[in-house]
Amino acid sequence: MSDDQNQEEQAPVEDAEAGQDSGYDDGGAGVEVLVDARVEELERQLNDTTARLRAVSGAYKNAQEEMAAYKTRLERQTALKEEIQRGEVVSRLFEPLENLRRTLSAMQRAEIDPTLLQGLELVQRAFLEGFEGLGLQEFGAAGDAFNPDQHEALTTMPVAEERMDGRVAQVFSAGFRVGTRVIRPARVIVGQYTAPAGEA
């Protein structure tokens, strides 16, 4: 083979290799641009998905909080309804209890057999313990400040002491409440103080 021929054969190979190198460089820049674009697209999708996930997670958390609040409200309403029903049922026993108290008071004044009185006092105590077991509290005592939300004023009566003005002077019948709800107001006579003529 001649040197000319050998050089001619080497020239196309070198040209081809040179072409491959320059083609690879051009293709590499194009691939990098494609890869960068794809990475940006995937990052955007990831950010969108993360934002949607946060929104769904927040909505789920809000739904859970609303459900818990609803459950609490429902439990409170149920407890209140039970309180009201309990009070309505027990309120039918208030008058018999008051009649028993009046009977005891009359018997004590009449000096009836003490064993009979003790038996009736036990019955009265059983009534009151039963009421307490149902959550009822008795209220209304002489000397209490008159409160129209808790007391029903039957009348007023003159009192000798200024400190008793506007206070419960006598209790005709006790009041009962369940929690803060008044089932029956205490029926009372309210004291009314009038200063003696010389003290004005």
Q: What is the C-alpha end-to-end distance of the chain, expressed in Å?
A: 150
**Which residues are 137's β-sheet partners?**
177
Contact 187, 170 (CB under 8 A): no
Within 10 Å of residue 72's Cβ, how many Cβ atoms?
Answer: 10
Q: Please tell me the predicted confidence (pLDDT) of residue 187.
A: 95
Tell me what percent of the residues of the chain surpass a pLDDT of 70. Answer: 84
What whole-number distance in Å separates Cα of residue 85 and Cα of residue 64?
31
DSSP-H helix ranges across the chain: 3-91, 94-109, 114-133
pLDDT tens for 88-126 read: 788 888 888 888 988 888 888 888 888 888 998 999 999
pLDDT of 189 higher than 90: yes
Contact 156, 141 (CB under 8 A): no
pLDDT tens for 27-79 read: 567 788 888 889 999 999 999 999 999 999 999 999 999 999 999 999 999 98
For the whole model, what pTM was predicted? 0.57
